[in-house]
């Protein structure tokens, strides 16, 4: 799984039939304290995430193992919104 920050929304006018009704967001991998740590990519949002939120993303075949993504053309899916991150007993991120 990847820790990422939501950067924006992606809108498409046409998409595959199995992708209809899906909401896609642009996310950037981040460090546990929320700082950017890699190139942006697109993920299906199943949690109602919003801009600036830190989220948990699953990629690859694991991304197609939720009820919302089963049999859908998905490579990355947001599976959680992060409230806080504790590292070595220290709070490093809090929503």
* pLDDT interval class at 85 (50, 70, 90): very high
Share of the chain above pLDDT 90, in %: 60
Kindly list the domain boundaries of the chain, sorted by start residue.
2-94
Q: d(Cα 43, Cα 92) in Å, to the nearest integer?
A: 24
Q: What CATH superfamily is the domain 2-94?
A: EutN/Ccml (2.40.50.220)
* Per-residue pLDDT tens digits for 45-55: 989 999 999 99
């Amino acid at each position: 799984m990847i820790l990422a920050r939501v950067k924006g929304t992606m809108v498409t006018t046409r998409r595959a039939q199995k992708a209809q009704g899906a909401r896609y967001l642009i996310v950037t991998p981040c460090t546990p304290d929320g700082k950017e740590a890699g190139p942006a990519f697109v993920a299906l949002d199943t949690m109602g995430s919003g801009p600036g939120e830190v989220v948990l993303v699953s990629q690859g075949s694991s991304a197609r193992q939720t009820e919302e993504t089963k049999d859908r053309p998905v490579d990355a899916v947001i599976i959680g919104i992060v409230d806080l991150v504790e590292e070595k007993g220290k709070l490093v991120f809090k929503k």
